Amino acid sequence: MVAWVTARALQFVPEFTARHLPPAGSALLPVLRARGHTVWPLWRRGADLGFVLPLRRQLPDRTAAAARWRSAEAVFLPGIAAARLPASAPHIATALRMFDRLRQGARFLDELELRLRHDDRFVYAGSTVDHGDRREIERVFVDAVVGDRTVAKDLWARLAWIADDHSDVSLRIRHSFGKEQLEDWLSGDDEIAGWSDRFAGSAFPESAVVLGCRPLQQLLARLLGRPFRLSERIVYNNAPGGGAVFHHDAEPGQLGVVFTQLAGHTAWLAISKRRLAALLCRHGAEPTMTAAMLALEADDQRRWRLLNRDAAFTARLAAAGALFVLAPGDAILLPSHGIDDATWHSVFALSTRPSLAHSYGIFPLAAPPPARHLRSRR
């Protein structure tokens, strides 16, 4: 990225949508709750990182949203899709029940067959389990067929645990195509990606909450300034005490991610890589910005524990405006302009029951070829 983006990221003025309370702050909880506040524990796989108190819930204006997007900062969009939830409420409830069955040992293939029974475009093509991946449960392949012609092969949906930890029963289903090891999904093939997206939409019709949300689609169009598609769709079922540790989604050709909460609540720590590196320096964890940027990409257990299990550093992140709470109908955008200009983020499941959310990668849509005009023979 150009230098001005770096400068903006380091000088970014945060806005505060949630307050962090340390683990020792539990004495305040009865007082806050008596005043009508909702306070959630930030607890993930045995790590007690304190509590979160939601504060401000207001959509950013266009200028603020664009500034955050350019700076690779999370764009929090409270309530942007809330009006779309009632129409999809039956589908959301059905998906939650499906995840409960899967958690109890139901076969993923059986669940998908039930969901696709009214859509003859998708034909079962096989199932696999990667025994080298302790998180994978089952991957189901389908082919897309129109009439008697196969138009897309090796579309798949992968059911997996979110974490390699028996204490966390959070699940996710990712839709993609081709060979994952060869990263076929980064090929930029809009046609086969479109069939993968149709497969995901047919299996999980509550995707209409996201795809039919005009304010969200219009905002993305303004931020991107180019045609786009929402692909590599993931359905999340974060269970109490679970969630994702700090990571980024910077991939070649992917412009960012839009995550939409459909049921339950999640808390997020989300911040640009450059501001995260600056906080590591201020915390005394790294001597220089260069060292901090490199440490974030390295397999460094000391840094990993600081990011994911240290309540004091969580408080520092919250003080920098990097703490958010998502309720049903909320969305959060995670821009990705490159490996050093992407939103780093981690997720905490807050609800007493598993929640439901959809996460879609944002990809540029290739321009159609120019129209060919035939000369008149007259």
- How many other C-beta atoms lie within 10 A of the C-beta of residue 28? 15
Q: At what angle do helices 273-282 and 311-319 cross, to 10 degrees?
A: 120
In terms of Cβ atoms closer than 10 Å to its own Cβ (0-12, 13-18, 19+), residue 146 is exposed
Average pLDDT over residues 134-143: 95
- Does residue 24 carry a pLDDT above 50? yes
Average pLDDT over residues 215-243: 97
In terms of Cβ atoms closer than 10 Å to its own Cβ (0-12, 13-18, 19+), residue 336 is buried
pLDDT at site 34: 87
**309 half-sphere exposure, CB direction, 13 A CA radius:** 8
- Does residue 373 carry a pLDDT above 70? no
Backbone angles phi, psi at 300, to 5 degrees: -115, 105
pLDDT at site 367: 58
pLDDT at site 369: 47
Percent of the chain exceeding pLDDT 90 equals: 80
Place of tokens 């959809």: 358
- Does residue 307 carry a pLDDT above 90? yes
pLDDT tens profile 60-90: 999 999 999 999 999 999 999 999 999 999 9
Percent of the chain exceeding pLDDT 70 equals: 91
Q: Pairing relation of β-strands 331-338 and 341-349?
A: antiparallel
pLDDT at site 258: 98
List 126's β-bridge partners, or say none: 141
**Regarding predicted confidence, which is higher, 268 or 182?**
268
pLDDT at site 186: 66
pLDDT at site 28: 84
pLDDT at site 133: 87
Domain ranges, ordered by start, for the chain = 3-364
- Does residue 182 carry a pLDDT above 80? no
Q: pLDDT tier at 181 (50, 70, 90 boundaries)? A: low
- Does residue 289 carry a pLDDT above 70? yes
- Does residue 203 carry a pLDDT above 70? yes
- Does residue 377 carry a pLDDT above 60? no
